[in-house]
Structure 1
């Protein structure tokens, strides 16, 4: 693949960078910019989103005819990296999880009627969305362990009972994609349902406190006790739930990696600015070999992650599922992000541990990277299984459509 960016992509990337530098990063130092959960305050977010829309930098991964940018995944990789040089960046441009992944899967597999009802309001920024899959004592990295049930009622609807937890954004979301079991078949036993927050038959049990800063709407535990969903709001078809998760989660994992490389870069930028001006024992910190070892290693690991991310993005653009390559990127970038932020905090010393910079925010956020959308151990297992099946072909060049 060619790693150069087209003139249009490069121009857009540069405009995102300028917007982040001029309009977003300066806001991080103002306590009034944050809500009570350490995310960007909603009134400020809405103002910035209006500016991003006016600049033509909105929902860049969605089709132009629906108000997006219409860019391929390779371009999105470059854009999302620039966006997340600010801790507030992705949500401003409508490139944050879980809306990002939900919009993508709805656009790919939804009917035209479903796109109009469920997708377009998300693209327009009128509603927030959630993907409800993970369960207490059930589904996590393994969707086959879904215990939430959907049972037929009459000829045209389903009744859902069960429980979900760690559902990102649920407290403020209006549109939900819900995974439930419709049969005991290992491959075709799951179905994806669409429902609105105002429908009866479900409730938020609690907003689960977490270690790091929270997305808008938090991470919630949900209970379903008679939620009714009509056949018209089944995504794809009955029994296609596992396919829906595969279509959604692969690219969503990769967009995490795109954003994480940006955060890692910013952490190193903050560290470099500090060590280039800070003197100790007769010289600048940047001149000390031990410090150079730290930043050199962190930068190298981050760039390896960027290359893996871009390769997987290119493969997706070629029509491949890129399962193996996405798993590689997910493991490597999660580690590289933590390495970059940890290195930055170490070099900043007490200032890094304080709230005088966003590095301590990043440090708490970065720890989730090795857990979300499949723990690193699960992805290593995926890679081992690919190696067993493919043998020498594990290392072949080119796009694998499987």
Structure 2
């Protein structure tokens, strides 16, 4: 397996890194750069987005035909890591969840008309979007077979009734992808729909307060009470909702990991910089064996995560589903992000616990990583099933 990247990709990585260093990281120290939910303020965001467009760093994950950068998944792994060295990075480059995953699934599965109506405004940065799947008990979470929200067909329209929650970005979204049950068929019982914020028959019942800083639009609870969706807004086809979900979530889990690696590396950078300056008892912190052990261990674990992410990205680029590779990466990177923030805080002491650095922001944000897009335990179950099915071939090498 060759991890060498092309000169063109390396040049792009350096451009993204320079943008983050010069424009975004300095903003993190400015209280006026934040909105009420601890994300980048909209006026600041629009200014930085304009600069990203001007420098050719906009929507790098999408095809050039629709205005993107044409990167494959391996290329995305390289640049997404650089983008998220700043907590503001992904949204500035229009590569943040949930828009990132929604754009990629619409580009892959949408009809020409659907792309024009639902995708292109996202590509241009004119609107935001959400993916409405998760439900409160007794509805579906990690197990979509438990889904309660139903869409019943009446002529050329579907009528939706049900309940969703923890829908990321919903309060700021205009375009939604909704997963609902259209039959009780175990394999073909779910359908994906597209609807607009202004469509009647649904409402946000609350923006759910969370432990960490929030994405734009928060995490919302939604009630559907007779939302009507025309048949032309079915994505891929009735009964193919799980295929839409698998197409979206597999890549979305991996892009989360790509971004989280950038945050983990940033935590190590902050910790190392402080340890190289701070003295105690006649010795720099960086010279203490205990500090060296912490930094060396977390650096190794970040590199393990990078290798798992790249292996999964290369598998997807070969046309594989990369199910087990994505699950491995998701578990590894979610945990190393949390631990990198913890190590950063520990080495910085009270400074790390304060808001003088972004370490406490990352620490609070990181706890969700082990839950979103499948909890650690769900991914371990996936790996166990793969192991039972494949036996020794679980560890096989790809060959030509």
Normalising by the residue count of structure 2, what TM-score does the alignment of the two structures yield?
Answer: 0.99
Deviation at 1:4, TM superposition (A): 1.2
Correspondence list, 1:13-24, <5 A = 13-24=13-24
1:49-106 residue CA offsets vs partner (Å, 9 max, x unmatched) = 0000010000001111111001101010011000000000000001100000000111
Match of 2:48 in 1: 48
2:244 alignment partner in structure 1 = 244
Partner of 2:140: 139
Residues in 1 aligned to 2:328 and 2:7: alpha-carbon distance in whole angstroms:
29
State the distance in 2 between where 1:120 and 1:293 align.
48
Partner of 1:340: 340
Return 5+ residue gaps in structure 2 as ranges.
none
Q: Distance in 1 between matches of 2:19 and 2:142?
A: 36
2:31 aligned with 1:31, yes or no? Answer: yes
Provide Cα deviations, 1:187-241, integer angstroms capped at 9, x if missing partner.
1000000000000000000000000000000000000001001110000010000
Residue of structure 2 equivalent to 1:207: 207
| RMSD across aligned positions (CA) | 0.9
Could you tell me how far 1:399 is from its partner in structure 2?
A: 7.6
The alignment partner of 1:277 has SS state of coil
* Distance in 2 (alpha carbons) for counterparts of 1:281 and 1:3: 43
Contact preservation (8 Å) 1:318, 1:399: no
The 5 Å alignment of 1:122-137 reads: 122-137=122-137
Within-5 A mapping of 1:31-110: 31-110=31-110
Which runs of 4 or more aligned residues in structure 1 lie more than 2 Å from their structure 2 counterparts after TM superposition? Answer: none
Q: TM-score, normalised by structure 1?
A: 0.98
1:260 is the counterpart of 2:260: yes
Q: Is the 8 A contact 1:182 1:190 kept in 2?
A: yes
Q: Report what 2:184 is aligned to.
A: 184
Counterparts of residues 148-297 of structure 1 (less than 5 Å): 148-154=149-155, 156-297=156-297
CA distance in 1, matches of 2:47, 2:182: 43
Shift in Å, 1:339 = 1.2
List runs of 5+ in structure 1 lacking aligned partners.
none
Distance in 1 separating the partners of 2:158 and 2:275 = 60
Deviations 1:274-321 (CA, angstroms, capped at 9, x unpaired): 000111111100001011001111111111001100100000100001
Helix, strand or coil at the partner of 1:177: strand
Deviation at 1:139?
1.4
Alignment coverage as a number of residue pairs: 399
- For 1:119 and 1:398, the matched residues in 2 are separated by 35
Aligned residue in 1 for 2:310: 310
- Alpha-carbon offset, residue 144 of structure 1: 1.6
Aligned to 1:114: 114
Partner of 2:358 in structure 1? 358
